[in-house]
Structure 1
Amino acid sequence: MLLTRAIEAFAAHLSTVRRLSPATVRAYRNDLRDLQATIGDLELRDVDLEHLREWLWQATKRGDERSTLARRTSSARAFFRWAHEEELVPADPSLRLVAPKRGRTLPHVAAAEALGGVLDRLGRAAAEGDPVALRDHALLELLYGAGIRVSELCGLDVDDLDLDRGTARVLGKGSKERVVPFGAPAQRALGAYLTRGRPALAARGAGAGPAVFLGVRGGRMGPRAVYDLVTREVGPVVGSSAVGPHTLRHSAATHLLDGGADLRAVQELLGHASLGTTQIYTHVSSERLAAAYRLAHPRA
């Protein structure tokens, strides 16, 4: 089987068997197509370790980041592991492929006080009754209050919310469902939006369906609109325009740990499969503690 055909078969496997998201499948396909473009459309059985090393070397020479090289190494390993399990190759040539170590990059985090100021300002604007203002306030309160992903937020339906208990049922990565709590500010903001804001937005179009968050034309709100909202409202307090919905997720996790929350509880809240993924936030908290020490301690 030629490499191009094998790549498409692998992508179909990721989509239909492992049920990965379209964006994840696209990322795997793009990485493997870069491999094919570098070494040629060889027979899959003829690809060996030297081909893979040459591929990564060419990527290094053109200046790809270490994180990109590490991701591509992971993609190649997953691809050839699958090919070996399917008996498309006699041996897995990626077993001895070494991934470069990723540099540790800490996520952007908004200070709790600054973020509280943003949410309070949005709350005052929402109190005037504008449907979009009510939506924006409820949306950001929920993103921060529950620490959910943008895909989880955009996929929420009205029946997924339990305002009395302060919980939301979300569908995370790998189609894993979990129930996440949110606090009283998000409860109040969502109650006001569902009562006064959402009906007005739904009346603007016929495509609302059961979606919680609606766009200005009445349809389900998409990730791009959420990104724009977070960048506009939260970017200034973080001091960077390179922020998005994940900034509120990072902030929620960091503030929980700063407040003494158990690391495993935060893992459950965020829906991380591995505790190691959650541990990045302990580094963020340590950095914040060190910064506070340097500013305040007389012997710093």
Structure 2
Amino acid sequence: MERVNRMLLEAFALYLRNEKKEESTIKLYVAELEALLTKLGERPGGLAEATTDDLLRYRNDLQAGGMKPATINKRMSIARTFFQWAGREGIADSSAAEGLRLDANAPPPIQWLSEAQERALLAAASNALTDENGVRNEALLAAMLYAGLRVKEVSYLRLDSLQGSRLVVSDEGGSFLRGVPLDDRALVPLLCWRRHRSEAIRSKHKESDFLFVTERSGFMQPRAVQFAVESLSAKAGFPVRCSALRHSYCRRLAREGASVERIRDWAGHKSPQTTVRYFEDL
């Protein structure tokens, strides 16, 4: 199948050359179609058998990954050009990529984890508790998955942000944003990490009042938080973005019967319209 797809892309590139496209444009088109092939994986038939549903899932994954609508629309336009050509050649459905352009003003789809995915991700963290960063990473997951914090809010947590069974969330300047009640799923890992943190021997850690630190710094940058979650998701066997952890927190509250007002307060949403999206299909 890989050989068939390669021949198909080469034939499409030849068509583009006959249409007087620049070589740089041809390389871009082929690269984008190879990315689509990667998404299709081992699907029987490859590009020739791709359906509108396949392309829709691909588009939605790009959107959920944070890609801008204009960039996604360029990719959909390339796919449309390919399938129109393939349709004329009798190779594929010429309409497979029709009607997939995004409204630039539409909000991205919300993605949250299934219960099975949550368990797998937490297992990946707990299996690494013997590592130097294992306890920390389990607390990172707890802060986002069971307290709904944004990545930056995790970075700016202080050692005194844990107050009883409540987590005080502040901005980078230390100004109060909100308080979040914690159940044991969040509280226990966070307390465990803070106790571990209090035993720090590195001077950079002793001098820092931030809760989360790295081996080299007394402050864990947002990108470092994201990287830690990406590493755990790789061990769990599926891609996870930090935003999906926060979405999972909000969705869980909605599923458990929390009101729009309560979820909005605990998650720190500016608009109730943001919160209402978590009640869809319940």
The alignment's TM-score, normalised by the length of structure 1, stands at: 0.54
CA contact 1:264–1:275 (8 Å) conserved in 2: yes
After superposition, the Cα gap between the structure-2 partners of 1:236 and 1:131, relative to the gap in structure 1 and judged at 3 Å, is closer
- Contact 1:110–1:237 (8 Å) recurs in 2: no
Question: Alpha-carbon deviation of 1:172?
Answer: 5.0
- Per-residue deviation, 1:217: 1.4
Q: 2:144 maps to which residue?
A: 143
Distance 1:102 1:211, change over 3 A: same
Letter in 1 for 2:139: A
Report the secondary structure of 1:168's partner residue: strand
Which residues in structure 2 correspond to 1:32-71 (within 5 Å)?
65=69
Amino acid at match of 1:160: S
Distance between the aligned counterparts of 2:194 and 2:69, measured in 1?
A: 44
For 1:276, what is the secondary structure of its paired residue? helix
Which residue number in structure 2 is paired with residue 59 of structure 1? none
Q: Given the superposition, is the C-alpha separation of residues 230 and 158 from structure 1 closer, same or farther in structure 2, using an over 3 Å criterion?
A: same
How far the C-alpha of 1:121 sits from its partner, in A, is 3.7
Secondary structure of 2:105's aligned partner: coil
Hey, what does 1:223 align to over in structure 2? 222
Instruction: Say if 2:268 is the partner of 1:271.
Output: yes
The answer to whether residue 279 in structure 2 is matched with residue 282 in structure 1 is: yes
Partner of 1:189: 189
1:90 is aligned to: none
**Matches of 2:198 and 2:135, distance apart in 1:** 8
Number of residue pairs matched by the alignment? 185
| Percentage of identical aligned residues | 26
Deviation at 1:274, TM superposition (A): 1.2
Distance 2:202 2:197 in 1: 10
Q: Which residue of 1 aligns with 2:245?
A: 248
2:122 aligned residue: 119
Residue identity matched to 2:166 = T
Compute the displacement of 1:122 (Å). Answer: 1.6
- The gaps in structure 1 that reach 5 residues or longer are 1-63, 69-99, 290-300
Residue 280 of structure 1: CA displacement? 2.1
Partner SS state of residue 153, structure 1: helix
The Cα of 1:66 is off from its aligned counterpart by 6.4
Asked whether the 8 Å contact 2:167–2:180 carries over to 1, the reply is yes
SS of residue in 1 equivalent to 2:108: coil
Give the structure-2-normalised TM-score. 0.57
**SS of equivalent to 1:146:** coil
2:157 counterpart letter in structure 1: L
Q: Distance in 2 between matches of 1:67 and 1:259?
A: 37
Quickly say closer, same or farther: Cα 1:260–1:143, change in 2 above 3 A.
same
Instruction: Return the letter of the residue paired with 2:242.
Output: P
Write the distance in 2 (CA, Å) between the matches of 1:173 and 1:262: 29
Distance 1:234 1:254, change over 3 A: farther
Q: Is the 8 A contact 1:272 1:278 kept in 2?
A: yes
| Partner of residue 58, structure 2 | none
How far did residue 141 of structure 1 move?
Answer: 1.0
SS at match of 1:281: helix
One-letter amino acid matched to 2:153: E
Report the 3-state secondary structure (helix = DSSP H, G, I; strand = E; otherwise coil) of the residue aligned with 2:146.
helix
Q: Is the 8 A contact 1:67 1:102 kept in 2?
A: no
Give the equivalent residue in structure 2 for 1:232.
231
Contact 2:168 2:176 in 1 (8 A): no
Between the aligned partners of 1:279 and 1:66, the Cα distance in structure 2 is: 26
User: Distance in 2 between the 1:66 and 1:151 partners?
Assistant: 26
Q: Is the alpha carbon distance of 1:282 and 1:234 closer, same or farther for their aligned partners in structure 2, counting shifts above 3 Å?
A: farther
Residue 14 of structure 2 corresponds to which residue in structure 1?
none
Residue 161 of structure 2 is aligned to residue 160 of structure 1: yes
- 1:146 and 1:119 map into 2 onto residues whose CA distance is 15
Residue type matched to 1:141 in 2? A
Corresponding residue for residue 105 of structure 1: 108
Unaligned runs of 5+ in 2: 1-67, 73-102
Quick check: 1:198–1:213 contact (8 Å CA) kept in 2?
A: no
Query: Are residues 67 and 260 of structure 1, via their aligned partners in 2, closer, same or farther at CA, if it must alter by over 3 Å?
Result: farther
Counterpart residue type for residue 149 of structure 1: R
- Alpha carbons of 1:281 and 1:118: their partners in 2 closer, same or farther (altered >3 Å)? same
- 1:116 is displaced (CA, Å) by 2.3
Aligned letter for 1:210?
D
Contact 1:131–1:196 (CA under 8 A) maintained in structure 2:
no
